């Protein structure tokens, strides 16, 4: 029997607890969430209109991708002004109204801070271009190499492809680990440090509950700017590199933690792609950041042994610094979970190319991918720590792999001359209702209006089509999110249970989680009650392949 429990969580209930040790956070990619004014781009009006949806879903907080004024060279990660809101999204006053409305519904608000770089249209870089005294010191300008100075100062590559250096007409080079329109800041400069601490206070004063830190491992560079040699950017996950994960970055976060500590209940979550969880734990020392995304979880193939190894390593390393683990199955930078699971699975953690070359040779089986993604959701939500859900994950959306080339916008696509198709496929606007594009995303009827086109076959996946349907993705997420705070608090450890090959099984606080990644159905332990299954009908003691289940003793007291 599936129990349905309704949890009402308000900010008041949670006062005094470290809410961020157990929170479920919903990632809003604002451009693609909901369009209020009909220009085809998501905005604050749209977001505010969907707050009841988020409250019904049962999330504790939202993380909003950058909403600051931006020329959109990298979908808002090129910030022109950190203290305002992008005009096509709305106004600062609307942002403040959104924060207040979210809080009224018991939903906290996490913003995205982008400290590694600014937009090339930020006033600081414009001053640097004009060569105002001292202005270039806030960025990383260097003379070129070679007799004419026309070779880049070192061999670093942009994470989007091509050299990480661009040259001004006047001959000097500047560093950009991402797009040329995203010049890297010089974090050895005291003004840079002071400015960002002030930006944090600006938003904390407006009631913002925390920040996701973009490229948290990128701010400090080896001051000698040595060549990276073989250590190219794709390997930033695995190898030391003079641009990434340098020890000096930790001093920055000690300063930021002091800023946050002056407020109640604020949280940081780091985006840090580092060579291992021992390195990740360094960001989570008690005087640094509260949480950091556990990306190995989304890099793991759908194989029980790989997933278990990731969970063990993540929990073990987080425990060394007393931090919660932060589980994430997808975000706006990686192929959607359904699609990652919809083909044959590798036997290793995937790297930044997401195995796309292999994917081109194999048709995706989205039905299979959805089944596995549902099972993974119950796994994610049973683990101790925080969980992030990327918009559309709760609808079971797949990656849109067949976007026409002419609509692609990701700088990765341009900087690799099309060799890497980039991240647009996971950023397609959300289908809310109706049977045709734009599926209620935008009040304008025309499908071609949305900033990226939606597939013609998404009618069954709209929020409206799934609402109240017992077997839908959305209902599964609603049920799991309602049950989670009733089944677990913060501290219950994961204890692994004996399980057949291909199966993960653990018990936490008296509740068992079984996940079958194998090729045969398995028998579940006798005498346990099904609390929630990833597909309907797991009632007869059998766990089918590619499903998962939460089980409790019949008399389990919750
Ligand atoms: C990570 C962000 O998630 C990604 O979308 C962005 O392109 C880079 N950082 C650069 O800011
Ligand atoms: Ca709009």
Question: What's the rounded Cα separation, in Å, for the pair 325 and 283?
Answer: 12
Distance CA 415, CA 425 (A): 17
- Which is nearest to 245 in space by CA: 282, 211, 214? 282
As a whole number, mean pLDDT of residues 202-226 equals 97
Q: What is the mean pLDDT of the chain?
A: 93
In this predicted structure, what is the pLDDT of residue 449? 87
Ligand 1 center to 296 CA (angstroms)? 17
The reply to whether ligand 1 has any atom less than 6 angstroms from the CB of 98 is: no
Tell which CATH classification among 3.90.1150.10, 1.10.287.3510, 3.40.50.300, 3.90.400.10 matches the domain 123-175: 3.90.400.10
Contact 115/219 with Cβ under 8 angstroms?
A: yes
How many A from CA of 112 to the centre of ligand 2? 20
Q: What is the CATH number of domain 492-557?
A: 2.60.40.1180
pLDDT confidence tier of residue 490, bands split at 50, 70 and 90 = confident
> What percentage of the chain reaches a pLDDT higher than 70?
94
Q: What is the DSSP string of 344-356?
A: ---SS---TTTTH
What pLDDT does 448 receive? 73
Cβ(114) – ligand 1 distance below 6 Å: yes
Residue nearest to atom 6 of ligand 1 (CA): 77
Ligand nearest to the CA of 295: 1
How far is Cα 55 from Cα 49, in angstroms, rounded to an integer?
11
φ, ψ for residue 173, nearest 5 deg: -105, 150
445 band by pLDDT with thresholds 50, 70 and 90: confident
Order of strands, edge to edge, in the sheet holding 61-64?
A: 291-292, 267-270, 210-213, 108-113, 61-64, 24-28, 386-390, 326-328
Mean pLDDT score, 265-278:
95
- The torsion angles phi and psi of 529, rounded to 5 degrees, stand at -105, 135
Q: Is the shortest distance between the CB of 410 and ligand 1 below 6 Å?
A: no
Beta-carbon-side half-sphere exposure of residue 35 (alpha carbons within 13 Å)? 26
Please check the confidence at residue 374 and state whether its pLDDT lies above 80.
yes
pLDDT confidence of residue 300:
97
35 in active site: no
Q: 524-544, pLDDT tens digit by residue?
A: 999 999 999 999 989 879 999
- Contact 76/70 with Cβ under 8 angstroms? yes
Q: Where are the alpha helices (DSSP H) in 205-303?
A: 249-261, 277-282, 296-299
Do 65 and 30 touch, CB atoms closer than 8 A? yes
Our answer on whether the CB atom of 112 is closer than 6 Å to any ligand 1 atom is no
Local confidence band at 271 (pLDDT 50, 70, 90 cut-offs): very high
For ligand 2, the distance from its centroid to the CA atom of residue 430, given in whole angstroms, is 13
Whether 59 contacts 107, CB under 8 Å: yes
pLDDT in the model for residue 232: 54
Q: What pLDDT sits at residue 17? A: 56
In the chain, list all ranges with CATH 3.20.20.80: 7-116+191-476
Residues 401-411 pLDDT 10s: 999 999 999 99
Q: Among residues 60, 112, 271, 424, which one is catalytic?
A: 271
The overall longest dimension of the chain from CA atoms, in Å, is 79
Cβ(393) – ligand 1 distance below 6 Å: no
Helices (H), 107-148: 123-129
Q: Which atom of ligand 1 is nearest to the CA of 114?
A: 11
Q: Is 78 in the pocket of ligand 1 (CB under 6 A)?
A: no
Question: With contact defined as beta carbons under 8 Å apart, do 168 and 180 qualify?
Answer: no
Range 74-101 average pLDDT: 98
In the Cβ-directed half-sphere of 519, how many Cα atoms lie within 13 Å? 2
Give the mean model confidence (pLDDT) for residues 356-380. Answer: 96
The pLDDT of residue 381 is 98
Domain with CATH 2.60.40.1180 in the chain: 492-557
Over the stretch 7-62, which tens digit does the pLDDT of each residue have?
Answer: 333 444 433 458 999 999 999 999 999 999 999 999 999 999 999 999 999 999 99
Q: How far is the CA of 92 from the centre of ligand 2 (A)?
A: 15
Mutate to test the pocket of ligand 1, among 74, 112, 212, 213 (most ligand atoms within 8 A of CB): 74
* DSSP string over 300-322: S-S-HHHHHHHHHHHHHHHHHTT
Mean pLDDT in residue range 85-92: 98
Q: Is residue 530 helix, strand or coil?
A: strand
Per-residue confidence (pLDDT) for residue 507, from 0 to 100: 97
Cα–Cα distance between 391 and 28 in angstroms, integer?
Answer: 6
What's the average model confidence in pLDDT over 122-148? Answer: 97
Q: How far apart (Å, rounded) are the C-alpha atoms in residues 396 and 32?
A: 16
Cβ distance 209 to 269 under 8 Å? Answer: no
CA 449 to centroid of ligand 2, rounded, Å: 10
Alpha carbons 209 and 63: distance in angstroms, whole number: 10
Q: How far apart are CA 209 and CA 265, in angstroms?
A: 7
For residue 390, the ligand closest to its alpha carbon is 1
Query: What is the average per-residue pLDDT within 66-71?
Result: 98
Q: 3-class DSSP state for residue 210?
A: strand
pTM for the full predicted model: 0.95
> Is beta strand 267-270 parallel, antiparallel or unpaired with respect to 210-213?
parallel
Handedness of CA 174, 175, 178, 182 (dihedral sign): negative
Structural contact between residues 119 and 80, judged by C-beta atoms closer than 8 angstroms: yes
Length of the chain: 558
> What is the number of the ligand closest to the CA of 44?
2
Q: How many angstroms separate the alpha carbon of residue 78 from the centre of ligand 1?
A: 9
Q: Which atom of ligand 1 is nearest to the CA of 423?
A: 5
> pLDDT digit string (tens) for 227-255?
988 655 554 545 788 999 999 999 999 99
Q: How far apart are CA 60 and CA 25, in angstroms?
A: 6
> Does residue 514 surpass a pLDDT of 60?
yes
CA of 112 to the centre of ligand 1 (A): 10
Q: How deeply is 364 buried, as exposed, middle or buried, from its count of CB atoms within 10 A (0-12, 13-18, 19+)?
A: middle
| Helix/strand/coil for 534 | coil
Q: How far apart are CA 333 and CA 350, in angstroms?
A: 14
Specify which residues 110 forms β-bridges with. 63, 210
Q: Kindly identify the ligand whose nearest atom is closest to the C-alpha of 34.
A: 2
Class of domain 7-116+191-476 (CATH, top level): alpha beta
The verdict on the CB of residue 293 being under 6 Å from ligand 1 is: no
74 Cα nearest atom in ligand 1: 7
171: left (phi over 0), alpha (psi -120 to 50) or beta: left
Nearest CA to ligand 1 atom 11: 77
* Atom in ligand 1 nearest the alpha carbon of residue 411: 7
Residues of the chain with CATH 3.90.400.10: 123-175
Kindly report the backbone phi and psi dihedral angles of residue 19, in degrees, each rounded to the nearest multiple of 5, phi listed first: -55, -30
**Residues 501-516: what's their mean pLDDT?**
97
74 lines ligand 1 (CB under 6 A): yes
Handedness of CA 239, 243, 246, 249 (dihedral sign): negative
Assign 215 a pLDDT band (cuts: 50, 70, 90): very high
**Residue 184 CB–ligand 1 contact under 6 Å:** no
What is d(CA 438, CA 426) in angstroms, rounded to the nearest whole number? 16
- 35, 43, 209, 214: which one is catalytic? 214
Instruction: For residue 43, report the distance from its CA to the centre of ligand 2, in Å.
Output: 5
Distance from the CA of 159 to the center of ligand 1, in angstroms? 9
Q: Candidates 63, 65, 77: which one to mutate for ligand 1, based on the most atoms within 8 Å of Cβ?
A: 77
Neighbours of ion ligand 2 (CB under 5 A): 35, 37, 39, 41, 43
Closest ligand (CA of 415)? 1
Cis, bond preceding 438 (omega within 30 deg of 0): yes
pLDDT (0 to 100) of residue 5: 33
Q: Is 214 a catalytic residue?
A: yes
């Amino acid at each position: 029997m599936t129990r349905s429990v309704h949890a009402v969580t308000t900010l008041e209930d949670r006062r005094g607890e470290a809410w961020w040790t157990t929170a479920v956070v919903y990632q809003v990619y604002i451009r693609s969430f909901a369009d209020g004014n009909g220009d085809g781009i998501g905005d604050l009006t749209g977001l505010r209109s969907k707050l009841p949806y988020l409250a019904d879903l049962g999330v504790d907080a939202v993380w909003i991708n950058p909403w600051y004024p931006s020329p959109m060279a990298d979908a808002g990660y090129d910030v022109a002004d950190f203290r305002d809101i992008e005009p096509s999204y709305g106004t600062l006053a609307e942002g403040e109204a959104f924060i207040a409305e979210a809080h009224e519904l018991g939903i906290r608000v996490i913003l995205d801070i982008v400290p590694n770089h600014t937009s090339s249209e930020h006033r600081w870089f414009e001053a640097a271009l004009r060569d105002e005294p001292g202005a270039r010191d806030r960025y990383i300008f260097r003379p070129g190499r070679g007799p004419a100075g026309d070779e880049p100062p070192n061999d670093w590559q942009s994470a989007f492809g091509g050299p990480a250096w661009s040259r001004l007409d006047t001959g000097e080079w500047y560093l950009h680990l991402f797009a040329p329109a995203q010049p890297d800041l010089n974090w050895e400069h005291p003004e840079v440090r002071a400015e960002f601490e002030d930006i944090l206070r600006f938003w904390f004063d407006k009631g913002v509950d925390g920040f996701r830190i973009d490229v948290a491992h990128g701010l400090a560079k080896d001051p000698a700017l040595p060549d990276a040699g073989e250590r190219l950017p794709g390997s930033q996950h695995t190898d030391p590199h003079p641009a990434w994960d340098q020890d000096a970055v930790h001093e920055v976060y000690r300063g930021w933690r002091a800023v946050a500590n002056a407020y109640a209940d604020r949280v940081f979550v780091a985006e840090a792609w580092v060579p291992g969880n021992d390195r990740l734990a360094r960001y989570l020392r008690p005087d640094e950041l509260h949480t950091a995304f556990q990306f190995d979880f989304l890099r793991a193939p759908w194989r029980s042994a790989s997933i278990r190894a990731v969970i063990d390593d993540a929990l073990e390393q987080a425990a060394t610094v007393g931090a919660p683990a932060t589980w994430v199955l997808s975000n706006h930078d990686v192929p959607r979970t359904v699609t990652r699971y919809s083909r044959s699975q590798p036997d290793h953690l995937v790297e930044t190319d997401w195995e796309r070359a292999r994917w081109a040779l194999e048709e995706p089986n989205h039905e299979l991918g959805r089944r596995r993604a549902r099972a993974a959701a119950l796994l994610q939500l049973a683990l101790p720590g925080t969980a992030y859900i990327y918009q559309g994950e709760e609808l079971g959306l797949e990656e849109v792999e067949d976007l026409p080339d002419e609509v692609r916008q990701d700088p990765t696509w341009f900087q690799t001359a099309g060799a890497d198709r980039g991240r647009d496929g996971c950023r397609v606007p959300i289908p809310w209702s109706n049977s045709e594009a734009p599926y209620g995303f935008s009040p304008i009827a025309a499908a071609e209006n949305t900033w990226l086109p939606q597939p013609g076959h998404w009618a069954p996946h709209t929020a409206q089509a799934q609402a109240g349907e017992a077997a839908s993705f959305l209902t599964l997420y609603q049920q799991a999110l309602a049950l989670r705070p009733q089944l677990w608090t913060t501290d219950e450890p994961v204890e692994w249970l004996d399980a057949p090959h291909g199966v993960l099984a653990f018990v936490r606080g008296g509740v068992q989680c079984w996940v079958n990644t194998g090729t045969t159905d398995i028998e579940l332990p006798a005498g346990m009650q099904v609390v929630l299954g990833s597909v309907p009908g797991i009632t007869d003691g059998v766990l089918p392949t590619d499903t998962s289940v939460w089980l409790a003793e019949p008399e389990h007291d919750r």
